[in-house]
Amino acid sequence: MEDAQNYDRAIKVTMLMFGPLAEKMGTREIEVNMPDGTTLIQLAERFELEGMLDSGMRVAIDGIVEPNTSRELHDSAEVAFLPPVSGG
């Protein structure tokens, strides 16, 4: 199969959702396959979450808050979407 090497590689990413976002998505965890080279913003766009990034939602990759939405994700990355917390 000579053409096999022409296929793009895929990475598996685990998305974790918290608070109201978990309720909105109907789950706290999603495993998704994305093309190698996918950025954080592309992942957010796929799940229509990019608007929430402008509203104060933070994102952590492997437990470290990542402000750069153009950061490329790696295989087996754990991406946590952290909505703003309100309190009184």
pLDDT score for 2 = 44
CATH number (domain holding residue 27): 3.10.20.30
pTM of structure: 0.85
Domain assignment present for 3? no
Tell me the pLDDT of the chain (88 aa) as tens digits. 444 444 579 999 999 999 889 998 999 999 999 999 999 999 999 999 998 888 889 999 999 999 999 999 999 999 999 988 755 4
- Ordered alpha helix ranges (H), the chain: 19-25, 40-46, 50-53
Domain assignment present for 1? no
Dist CA 3 CA 56 (whole Å): 44
Q: How many domains does the chain have?
A: 1
Domain assignment present for 57? yes
pLDDT score for 86 = 55
Domain assignment present for 4? no
Domain assignment present for 44? yes
pLDDT score for 85 = 74
Name the residue range of residue 71's domain: 9-82
Domain assignment present for 36? yes
Look up residue 57 and give its two tokens: 């939602």
